[in-house]
Structure 1
């Protein structure tokens, strides 16, 4: 079996590697950087991502290393959304700098047998009918590798995407955000978030005695990319919005980012696949980028593993694009809407922000809906037969509690296999059931259980097949009898 080669050892690539190793697929991860990036672009892990980690039994490692935040913001509106009302065992966002997230993900992937090679830069690909040849500039010499499939998890400037000839259409930047990780002599008492006619700035403490300022001012509403960011510019922008610089000094990282929005035309082209930022580029509103990348990898991992091992039904790998491309398109729409609010500096814009903020406080349904979308708890994959499919089909399965078992659903999912829940209370399901080939095709792990507190469509379900990524493959309401 030729290995799968993953290009990029960021969160998406590392999670994909781990998912493939659960199925004994040989995996090599090639990373250009010789060492892990010490600067954390992402700092937020959302509830759905924590659920994915829980399905593999490692969520506790991340929760212990991070800080729970029970609320989230939409477009930095002053009224925050309450994550405590969400139907999840993780009703919070987790503050955890990306550098620590990557450390934990790499530990998980390598413990499962993934190989991570740093200082190995992919320079090109040659795709044939039965394999892909990967051209690599190694630390000692150029070389090539043969792979059954190649997954590009190598960011918005993806070498894999360009080498495969996959289009990346979208819009150019019209606003430039900025970020400064600095030391403060007079730090604020806690996190700050201020938006006004001059601009918007957020400030929050990071580990190691550093504070992060991130924001935009009216001068940043421009289509041409500004020059290199300096500490003096960051100081001036912070003073302009917040009125003081808090004794700002010793910058650790200064960066700009635009609101260009792009999406790959194809998430799969033959034996080449894209995930994470290689597949979608957007403004970092809401801190969802890392999370969507891991969710891409969760969807792709089991499908690619089954394809490599020869156990996948026809067309399975194509469903990766069919399911995740619409999610990526919604991601762009969602972040563009937040960007419009973030840059609403005019009097009219400030009035709009005030109105929406008050609605979040006054209309719980609005707050919950926005929170579910931000947390990716609302993602549902369209079933192939929507007219006859059970209401649960395609939805996310929560971490269900069982009446006669101390374990919960996610504890049954740690091997990365399909899980069949037999919810009958008398005669068990036939070995051949449920119908449509789902359970028998996947050799699912079967568990006859009773739900502790079934609600909604779960209350009438008698059999549910759950995919390795935690979405319902199908369900039936009437039990098949012997």
Structure 2
């Protein structure tokens, strides 16, 4: 089979990337080693910036119809009892959106199926060869390959790409289950995350309702040998943790799905190796705390998609594809640092010295300026890339065709020259890559050039000419 891009991995990152490439008219094949999608809840929500990114493609509204009703609670940092307030960041989505990972994957895969994109399940990649013209994965040949195949990436291992970092120091279990009986210590309704972590009798746990009678339990021991990651998780193991923290009145009903994870922190040194690129957990892993993993992966995909499409189509300016690494590597590196810090501050052992640090951070988060800083960092709303402006606010607009919003003008996946000053520009050379819209907003923002990922590439207040910015990003 011949294609333009091979995407390995049908998780949120790979499926979102395939949608981005397909939107740009690029031929894609998605390879996934598992025959069926996991039934485990895994990631349970979207950070505000990821909700915005999905809104840029018109994906958010149909996903919201499948979202769980967990109330409007702000995010958290290290499980501290202070809600992160994203409202000052001028977003339409200031609260995390509770969409289970499986529903997100099913939605993204269905979009690909509707567009005729092959998603080949049960198709493990056994060998990879690349040359100056493309990449061969088994019997499939493509111009590029993107590894989105998770923290234990087979692609990364086959190419011998190092995955430096810090090995896991603790082993934990995450399980979806039902309860046959519950003590008063078990939460009945959704609350802010800070209400869920508990510790007792050598165990730390996080137990919270998912939907209906279904709960998610995360647990581990303070001092224990780390079991092999593939060792089956038994009902006795789960019941022991429930009894230790929630009392003998809390008994396991059905163990629906379970897996092991650690607090290992690793990141590839370069997101590109010739014609092979890395995204999502194949590029970076960290302790799953604060709802960062899926969000990093989705945003990797949206940053990479239009750049890789430009390379495939032959109009990418010099350095555009390499800007994927330059922009996204530091973002993930910061997440790796902050998740390590959070693992210490969460202080499940209730160490007296760490408890004082926890109390100090709690007080700091109650300060508006600190909360603003941390909420922007955890939500991804504060991301700015070198030489690029911040994300474009999703303004209400009035155009000749009627009312709209900035996000709706980016559904095409093309660049956008938004003229809010009644002064359209000549962009004939880029008209096949950039849409120009004249509109009015409730503020005078001049003219703004917006990249397909929603970041501002140029404004009429910049010193450089518009043509320079167009050439830099759109060839």
TM-score by length of 1: 0.87
Q: Distance in 1 between matches of 2:390 and 2:160?
A: 33
Are 1:76 and 2:79 matched, yes or no?
yes
Structure 1 stretch displaced more, 468-477 or 304-313: 468-477
Structure 1 stretch displaced more, 225-234 or 11-20: 225-234
Are 1:18 and 2:19 matched, yes or no?
yes
Q: Distance in 2 between matches of 1:161 and 1:441?
A: 38
1:237 is displaced (CA, Å) by 2.4
Are 1:474 and 2:458 matched, yes or no?
yes
Are 1:359 and 2:358 matched, yes or no?
no
1:91 is displaced (CA, Å) by 1.1
Q: Distance in 2 between matches of 1:355 and 1:478?
A: 41
Are 1:249 and 2:246 matched, yes or no?
no
Are 1:160 and 2:155 matched, yes or no?
yes
Are 1:105 and 2:108 matched, yes or no?
yes
The 5 Å alignment of 1:5-404 reads 5-67=6-68, 69-135=72-138, 144-187=139-182, 188=186, 189-191=188-190, 192-196=195-199, 198-207=202-211, 209-219=213-223, 228-244=232-248, 246-345=250-349, 346-360=351-365, 362-383=366-387, 393-403=388-398
- Residue 252 to residue 196, structure 1, CA distance change in 2 (3 Å): closer
CA offsets, 1:218-253, max 9 Å, x none? 225x66758643322322223333345522232112
Q: Distance in 2 between matches of 1:52 and 1:193?
A: 29
Task: Tell me which residue corresponds to 1:139.
Answer: none
Q: Distance in 2 between matches of 1:27 and 1:56?
A: 18
Contact 2:73 2:83 in 1 (8 A): no
Contact 2:207 2:215 in 1 (8 A): yes
Q: Given the alignment, which residue of 419, 436, 444 partners 1:446?
A: 436
Q: Distance in 1 between matches of 2:124 and 2:53?
A: 29
Contact 1:399 1:410 in 2 (8 A): yes
CA offsets, 1:8-54, max 9 Å, x none? 11111100000001111111001111111111221111111111111
Task: Tell me which residue corresponds to 1:141.
Answer: none
Contact 2:172 2:261 in 1 (8 A): yes
Contact 2:3 2:140 in 1 (8 A): no
What SS does the corresponding residue of 1:336 show, helix, strand or coil?
helix
Contact 2:204 2:348 in 1 (8 A): no
User: What is the number of residues matched between the two proteins?
Assistant: 449
Q: Distance in 1 between matches of 2:348 and 2:10?
A: 36
Contact 1:216 1:343 in 2 (8 A): no
Q: Distance in 1 between matches of 2:228 and 2:346?
A: 19
Contact 1:66 1:96 in 2 (8 A): yes
1:262 is displaced (CA, Å) by 0.5
Q: Distance in 1 between matches of 2:204 and 2:356?
A: 15
What SS does the corresponding residue of 1:82 show, helix, strand or coil?
coil
Q: Distance in 2 between matches of 1:73 and 1:229?
A: 29
What SS does the corresponding residue of 1:121 show, helix, strand or coil?
coil
Q: Distance in 1 between matches of 2:98 and 2:116?
A: 28
Contact 1:462 1:478 in 2 (8 A): no
Q: Distance in 2 between matches of 1:65 and 1:432?
A: 40
TM-score by length of 2: 0.88
Task: Tell me which residue corresponds to 1:414.
Answer: 411
Q: Distance in 2 between matches of 1:83 and 1:423?
A: 26
Structure 1 stretch displaced more, 185-194 or 71-80: 185-194
Q: Distance in 2 between matches of 1:417 and 1:51?
A: 16
Q: Distance in 1 between matches of 2:127 and 2:38?
A: 23
CA offsets, 1:419-441, max 9 Å, x none? 0012224xx244159xxxxx838
Q: Distance in 2 between matches of 1:328 and 1:464?
A: 27
What SS does the corresponding residue of 2:128 show, helix, strand or coil?
strand
What SS does the corresponding residue of 2:29 show, helix, strand or coil?
strand
1:84 is displaced (CA, Å) by 4.1
- Residue 322 to residue 441, structure 1, CA distance change in 2 (3 Å): farther
Q: Distance in 2 between matches of 1:2 and 1:398?
A: 36
Contact 1:66 1:95 in 2 (8 A): yes
What SS does the corresponding residue of 1:286 show, helix, strand or coil?
coil
Contact 2:40 2:258 in 1 (8 A): no
CA offsets, 1:58-114, max 9 Å, x none? 211111111354311211123332344442111111112211111111112222332
